Amino acid sequence: MPTDLSSRLEPSQEQKKKKQLKARLLSDAKLKKPHTVAAQGNESNLSQRSQASYFNASESASDFKYFPAYKELSLTRDVSEHLQLENPFFKMHQGLASDTTVIEGRSYINFGSYNYLSINEDPRLIAAAKQAIDDYGVSCSASRVVSGERAVQRELESALANLHYSDDAAVFVSGHATNVTTIGYLFTPKDLIIHDALIHNSVIQGIQLSGAARLSFKHNDCDELEEMLRQRRGQFERVLIVTEGLFSMEGDIPDLPKLIEIKQRYNALLMVDEAHSIGVLGETGGGIAEYFSVSSNSVDIWMGTLSKTLASCGGYIAGSQALIDMLKGGAPGYLFSVGIAPTLAAAALTALDIMRQEPERIKKLNSNAALFDRLARLHNIDTGTNQQQAIIPVVTGSSLMAVRLANSLFEQGINAQPILHPAVEERLARLRFFICASHSEQQIMHTIDVLSKSMRSLEII
């Protein structure tokens, strides 16, 4: 049997079905209900499929228009058109996006960039990146195993190892791929991986690749995690617990000392994704270990990205020598992928230097985030569980309202991106504000003023 019955329907029935789904989506949007797609059959056992189903396959088997993902995308577009919603995504920025940005010739106050310490525009960073191009060209043109090392790549890895007080570090070409290949390579179906419910997609992809069993505990709920370990620890060879240093959707922080205590008690491994915490948490930007003053060695796998505070592109793992040797010797995303471009390595290295030398940037970022959150709460704006650290959600209650609010702010010169279902639960759809060190108090006060008026006129508050 084909897994997607709709591929067998006659065109008129297909259209009828599309119409019904569209009507349902529209009424869900109006009622602020989460939109669920009817479960499709999911046969994974090849031997159960009759040969005939391959030969009978219509054009739906070879035309991307019939892929379920494309059909869903088309429906979303139809609904947006029907509701006359401007698409708030893929805006074309002209030039540097920092506390302000220019889109189609107009300047906006910008809350859509991970450039937390405003280092991306620093002339020292730009000079270092240009110098690396003069020294090495743009690409190193093959994996480091094949094409050999560039000094700047090793210097960056040493600096990242120092940042985490670890033996060593390995740098990969993408933050997302770092999680996928590291988890996918290290763990097996004999293992269990337990992660926070709000963990980043790249971790989930890595777990799926590894074949390990997967459980998720309620966001920041250490008691639920412990209960899972109590019941399951004995059934698996290794157990990995994964959390984020600063959660990218909520802007809140896990109880790291408690997680360390639990992982030690159950002889598990602990991995922390520091994508959003480097440069944000801790007085010198050292991340969650510095924030809680805990020993860095208590965490087994430190993961981070170069694309946020460090104003570059790529990801890294820091940890024991055995861990790094293993990844460099066998992780497919390291071994079979090009080495980080020297210009990106030089930029990240310089950004780390600037972050360490100028802790006043971190102070300014923190006071900006605190001001934003304080003012928002004064206006009864729901900013969730954020801890006044660079990421502040503004919950709108539905995806439709999130898009409407984003578009209303945009019309008034403020750029902030909506986060919609299924990225978050429908009732928790939101706008996400990334605060940076170079935002001025005036920009923040003006934004809260516009935000609260818009939320009132849309009857969100």
Is the Cβ–Cβ distance between 400 and 32 less than 8 Å?
A: yes
Max Cα separation, the chain?
68
Taking CB under 6 A as the binding criterion, the range among 213-221, 224-232, 268-276, 342-350 that sits at the site for ligand PLP is 268-276
Taking CB under 6 A as the binding criterion, the range among 16-24, 162-170, 174-182, 415-423 that sits at the site for ligand PLP is 174-182
Taking CB under 6 A as the binding criterion, the range among 10-18, 97-105, 125-133, 170-178 that sits at the site for ligand PLP is 170-178
DSSP-derived 3-state class of residue 42? coil
Is the Cβ–Cβ distance between 455 and 381 less than 8 Å?
A: yes
The vertex-235 CA angle with 234 and 238, nearest 5°, equals 80
Q: ω before 422 within 30° of 0 (cis)? A: yes
State both tokens at 301: 């796998």
Determine, following the binding rule CB under 6 A, whether residue 113 of this chain makes contact with ligand PLP.
no
Q: Which residues pair with 273 in a beta bridge?
A: 244, 303
Determine, following the binding rule CB under 6 A, whether residue 196 of this chain makes contact with ligand PLP.
no
- Of 110, 166, 174, 309, the residue at the interface with ligand PLP (CB under 6 A) is 174
Min separation Cβ 227 and ligand PLP, Å: 25
- Of 176, 195, 361, 404, the residue at the interface with ligand PLP (CB under 6 A) is 176
Determine, following the binding rule CB under 6 A, whether residue 243 of this chain makes contact with ligand PLP.
no
* Residue closer to ligand PLP (CB basis): 364 or 432: 432
- Report the distance separating Cα 358 and Cα 234, nearest Å: 48
* Residue closer to ligand PLP (CB basis): 307 or 399: 307
- Report the distance separating Cα 226 and Cα 266, nearest Å: 9
* Residue closer to ligand PLP (CB basis): 273 or 290: 273
- Of 2, 175, 279, 342, the residue at the interface with ligand PLP (CB under 6 A) is 175
Sketch the per residue contact string, 288 through 327, with ligand PLP: x for CB under 6 A, - otherwise.
Answer: -----------------x-x-------x------------
- Report the distance separating Cα 286 and Cα 308, nearest Å: 14
Closest by CA to 273, choosing from 300, 291, 297, is 300
Determine, following the binding rule CB under 6 A, whether residue 182 of this chain makes contact with ligand PLP.
no
* Residue closer to ligand PLP (CB basis): 35 or 276: 276
Closest by CA to 434, choosing from 83, 120, 69, is 120
Sketch the per residue contact string, 197 through 216, with ligand PLP: x for CB under 6 A, - otherwise.
Answer: ---x-x--------------
Min separation Cβ 175 and ligand PLP, Å: 2
State both tokens at 130: 């240009």
Determine, following the binding rule CB under 6 A, whether residue 181 of this chain makes contact with ligand PLP.
no
Determine, following the binding rule CB under 6 A, whether residue 439 of this chain makes contact with ligand PLP.
no
Min separation Cβ 49 and ligand PLP, Å: 36
Cα separation values, 209 from 181, 214, 249, 326, 332, Å: 8, 11, 24, 18, 12
Could you tell me how many residues of this chain bind ligand PLP (CB under 6 A)?
A: 14
Q: Give the residue closest to ligand PLP by C-beta.
A: 175
Q: Which residues pair with 240 in a beta bridge?
A: 193, 269
Provide the residue count of the chain.
461
